[in-house]
Amino acid sequence: MSTIREARPTDCPQILELIHELAVYEKEPDAVKNTVDELEKHLFGADPKVFTHVAEDESGQLVGIAMWFLTYSTWEGRHGIHLEDLYVRDSERGEGTGTALLKTLAQICIDRGYRRMEWAVLDWNAPAIGFYDSIGSSTMDGWSTRRLDGDALQEMAR
């Protein structure tokens, strides 16, 4: 079983490697623009806005990541966690690593009084959907995720 812990600056090269693996898994192998320097700045700079927990095997190799940031519910009047990426190497799936990462984030929610943890999953990712169903998560029927980026974002800013 892996050890779950907060990421450290020295983990950034392995975190980026896992991000690249996730992009390949999600059929977007060329989409990652992130760098080790950007990760270090955003995770460990003066005012971090994104956080990462890692799963580390006994040899010190990272085998999973959970990258997240805070949300805020105007209705609840409380923060929550948005899980941006949960990724476990294929060789470690089914060993409890993903569950351990999610349990860590759930405990952070409880300890800090956050009301929810949310994330998105690709419609075609049946293994992930099955896993998420098995832990009691629910879909947000009636909602769809929207994005403004690229030229549309530039146009909106004008």
- Where does residue 4 fall: left (phi above 0), alpha (psi -120 to 50 degrees), or beta otherwise? beta
Q: How many residues does the chain have?
A: 158
Asked if 45 and 37 count as a contact pair (C-beta separation under 8 A), the reply is no
Q: Which tokens is 15 given?
A: 């975190």
Name the active-site residue from 72, 87, 114, 132: 132
Q: Which tokens is 115 given?
A: 């009301």
Catalytic annotation present for 132? yes
* Segments of the chain assigned E as strands: 3-6, 51-56, 62-73, 78-88, 117-118
Q: How far is CA 136 from CA 26, 124, 139, in A?
A: 23, 19, 10
Mind telling me the catalytic residues? Answer: 132
